[in-house]
Amino acid sequence: MNNPLLAIAVILLTSASALAGPTDELYKLGPDSQEQPGVPRGKLSEPIVLASKVYPNSTRNYWVYTPAQYDKTKPACLMIFQDGHAFLGLKGEYRIPYVFDNLIHRREMPVTIAVFINPGHGPDQPEATDKDWGDGTTNRRVEYNALDDKYSKLIVDELLPELKKSYNISDNPEHRGIGGASSGAICAWTVAWHRPDQFRKVISVIGSYTNIMGGHVWPDMIRQGEAKPIRVFIQDGRNDNRGTRKGGAYDAKWDWFAQNVKMVEALTEKKYDMTYVFGVGSHSGKHGGSIMPEMLRWIWRDHSKGQDPMDPAIKTPLGAETAGK
Give the model's pLDDT for residue 239: 95
The predicted pLDDT at position 288 comes to: 98
Structural domain boundaries enclosing 260: 4-322
pLDDT at 21: 47
- Strands 112-117 and 58-66, bridge-based pairing: antiparallel
The lowest-confidence range among 55-64, 95-104, 248-257, 286-295 is: 248-257
CATH number for the domain harbouring residue 221? 3.40.50.1820
User: Within 13 Å, how many C-alpha atoms sit on residue 267's CB side?
Assistant: 26
- pLDDT of the residue at 207: 98
Q: Which of 19-28, 106-115, 201-210 has the lowest mean pLDDT?
A: 19-28
Closest C-alpha to 187, from 200, 164, 203: 203
Give dist(CA 70, CA 292) in Å, integer. Answer: 22
70: pLDDT strictly greater than 60: yes
pLDDT for residue 246: 76
Check residue 32 and give its pLDDT: 98
Q: Residue 248 — pLDDT band, cuts 50, 70, 90? A: confident
Query: Which of the four pLDDT bands, split at 50, 70 and 90, describes residue 2?
Result: low
Question: What are the C-alpha distances in Å from 144 to residues 117, 214, 287?
Answer: 12, 12, 22
- pLDDT higher than 60, residue 198: yes
Mean pLDDT along residues 3-30? 59
The per-residue pLDDT for 13 is 44
Mean per-residue pLDDT, 214-231: 98
Domain count, the chain: 1
* 242-244 vs 250-255, strand pairing mode: antiparallel
Q: Is 288 helix (H, G, I), strand (E, B) or coil?
A: helix
The model's pTM: 0.88
- pLDDT-derived band at 22 (thresholds 50, 70, 90) equals low
SS3 (DSSP) at 138: coil
> Sorting pLDDT into bands at 50, 70 and 90, what band is 323?
very low
Express each pLDDT in 71-101 by its tens digit. Answer: 999 999 999 999 999 999 999 999 999 999 9
| CB contact set of 242 (below 8 Å; sequence gap of 6+) | 250, 255, 256, 257, 258
For the chain, how long is the longest CA-to-CA vector? 60
Helical (H) or strand (E) element with 258: helix 256-269
Per-residue pLDDT tens digits for 105-157: 999 999 999 999 999 999 999 999 999 999 999 999 999 999 999 999 999 99
